[in-house]
């Protein structure tokens, strides 16, 4: 499975050994090195892991980290820093980092951490490929539901110029509704498909109703009469053709 790593580095010198490990790995791991000021955040949807050296960048590093995270909520981002305090690590985790590596670092340890992130990314790709083989509908890019643009891969809604994040459960429920437009989805099917629960479970149907309320709010389907996600009393919910 082909992988690609984005390395955001003010200076690539101290990472040359890591780049050699990427090249010599079997199969080779593809990578791209860019300076922080040259990063196009749109690339967040095209790579599997980001390694970000925040040294010498200052406050701009937090802003760039947030933007990468907003573009791709599932993207693993590893931060390398010459600031070793716990407070600084907490700051970068709050900005969206998944890992924090202090300088001076051991190259082999960083390489192994990076490979661990790639294993998770490859697992997600494998699950998506299995869905394709089973004939499940896979969306290519955002879809529109009313006035809202929904991006299931990035788990977000864009409405009236505002970006609104979906939780994994909300994204799963809305995707199930979209894939089955015009069909009533029983509450039990939501629990089985999104929560992976069978008939015997501790979670009540109420959790489905609560998430539907949140989804309607985020896509702008509120008011006395929902326009897109219809309640089928005693059964479940249906997304009308949009």
Number of C-beta neighbours around residue 192 at 10 A: 14
pLDDT at position 81 is 94
Q: Tell me the average pLDDT of the chain.
A: 87
pLDDT band of residue 16 (cuts 50, 70, 90) is very high
Please, which pLDDT band fits residue 50 given cuts at 50, 70 and 90?
very high
Domains of the chain, each with CATH number or no CATH: 4-133 (3.40.50.2300), 143-239 (1.10.10.10)
| Nearest-angstrom CA–CA distance, 242 and 227 | 10
User: What does pTM read for this prediction?
Assistant: 0.59
Is pLDDT above 60 for 167?
A: yes
Looking at residue 242, what is its pLDDT?
Answer: 60
Q: What is the DSSP string of 60-85?
A: HHHHHHHHHHHH-TT--EEEEES---
Among the listed residues 138, 142, 181, the one whose alpha carbon sits nearest the alpha carbon of residue 163: 142
The predicted pLDDT at position 134 comes to 53
Place 141 in a pLDDT band, splitting at 50, 70 and 90.
Answer: confident
Q: Helices marked H in the chain — which ranges?
A: 16-24, 60-71, 86-95, 107-133, 168-179, 187-193, 206-219
What pLDDT is attached to residue 1?
Answer: 58
Instruction: Read off the pLDDT of residues 175-195 as tens digits, 9 standing for 90 and up.
Output: 999 988 999 999 988 988 888
pLDDT of residue 109: 96
pLDDT number for residue 123: 75
What would the two tokens of residue 38 be? 């040259």
Q: Is the peptide bond before 104 cis (omega within 30 degrees of 0)?
A: yes
């Amino acid at each position: 499975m082909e992988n690609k790593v984005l390395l955001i580095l003010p200076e690539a010198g101290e990472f040359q050994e890591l780049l050699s490990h990427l090249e010599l790995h079997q199969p080779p791991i593809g990578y791209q090195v860019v300076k922080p000021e040259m990063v196009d955040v749109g690339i967040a949807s095209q790579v599997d892991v980001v390694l970000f050296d925040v040294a010498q960048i200052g406050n701009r590093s937090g802003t760039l980290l947030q933007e990468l995270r907003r573009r791709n909520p599932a993207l693993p981002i590893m931060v390398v820093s010459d600031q070793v305090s716990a407070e600084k690590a907490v700051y970068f985790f709050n900005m969206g980092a998944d890992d924090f590596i202090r300088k001076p670092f051991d190259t082999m340890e960083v390489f192994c951490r990076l490979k661990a992130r790639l294993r998770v990314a490859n697992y997600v790709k494998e699950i998506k490929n299995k869905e394709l083989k089973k004939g499940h509908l896979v969306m290519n890019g955002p879809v529109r539901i009313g006035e809202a643009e929904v991006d299931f891969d990035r788990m977000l809604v864009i409405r009236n110029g505002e970006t609104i994040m979906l939780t994994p459960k909300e994204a799963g429920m809305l995707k199930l509704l979209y894939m089955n437009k015009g069909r009533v989805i029983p509450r039990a099917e939501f629990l089985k498909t999104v929560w992976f629960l069978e008939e015997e479970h501790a979670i009540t149907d109420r959790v489905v109703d609560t998430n539907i309320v949140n989804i309607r709010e985020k896509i702008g389907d509120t008011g006395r009469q929902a326009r897109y996600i219809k309640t089928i009393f005693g059964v479940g919910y249906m997304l009308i053709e949009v």
